[in-house]
Amino acid sequence: MKSIMERFSLEGRTALVTGGAQGIGKAYCEALVQAGAKVAVVDINLALAEETAHALIAGGGEAIAIRTDVTVQDDVQKMVRTVVEKWGSLTIGVNNAGVGLWRDALTMDFMDWRKVLSLNLDAIFLCAQAEGVQMKEQGYGKIINTASMSAHISNTPQNQCAYNASKAGVLHLTRSLAAEWAPLNICVNSISPGYTKTALVANLLDSPEGKSMLPKWLERIPMGRMALVEDLQGAVVYLAGEVSDYVSGSDILIDGGYCSW
């Protein structure tokens, strides 16, 4: 029988991470490489993806960069083919690319709604579908979707109905795929981060409205601080490895206790 540390190891596994060039996605790439996986850094910004991939290689890992618009089905299918052509398989798909947007529901432009749903939900389906086809052929795979604590609650004081709805959709899509694909030996799970220190959040907080929100956020976090990207890395390694082979349809909420109130 393998030791627990051997079961956590990702040696011999191949992964892709969408939105992998920065923020949470970059932290996921770093964690997966450190655990032994070969990682494709997928991003719409190829220069940033290449920068992240080069850093992973410089640290002793094996990585490539792939430019992909995850809202375009042909791009997504090409992404999976590229990984398989490079390494012979795709064991782990981390569908992480997303966007946040604050808008009042009464005045929100429908195109803003569609932008959020397209990237945060439609693209998750496109990626999972393409990954699932490959994993069915292999007879094994791990799919990990980035949801959010906003899938579980309606955040305050900011108004973000599109974001909340999209992430709730990710949560139930994950459960649905987990049930459908369990006979194929494909595990599908999600990670729900709370407020996390990333460039995406920093841009939101840089506005006058955002600056007024940070103290209100911190008041509601029992642990009294925002998450660091490092706080999320253990979950992605766990869900990507053999150690979680009996885990599917689950969500790991990493929010400093925010949803405990």
- Which residues belong to the active site? 148, 163, 167
Nearest residue to 101 (alpha-carbon basis) of 194, 41, 166, 6: 166
Residue that the structure tokens 């439609």 belong to: 122
Give how far the C-alpha of residue 52 lies from the chain's centroid of Cα atoms, to the nearest Å: 16
Q: ∠ CA 121-143-18 to the nearest 5 degrees?
A: 60
* Helix (H), strand (E) at residue 87: helix 73-87
The encoded tokens of residue 148 equal 């959010």
Bridge-partner residues for 192, per DSSP?
253
Give how far the C-alpha of residue 122 lies from the chain's centroid of Cα atoms, to the nearest Å: 14
182 close to 246: Cβ distance less than 8 angstroms: no
Cα–Cα distance, 249 to 256 (Å, whole number) = 22
251 close to 191: Cβ distance less than 8 angstroms: yes
Residue that the structure tokens 């925010």 belong to: 258
The encoded tokens of residue 73 equal 């089905």
Peptide bond into 193 cis (omega under 30): no
12 close to 39: Cβ distance less than 8 angstroms: no
3-class DSSP state of 142 = strand
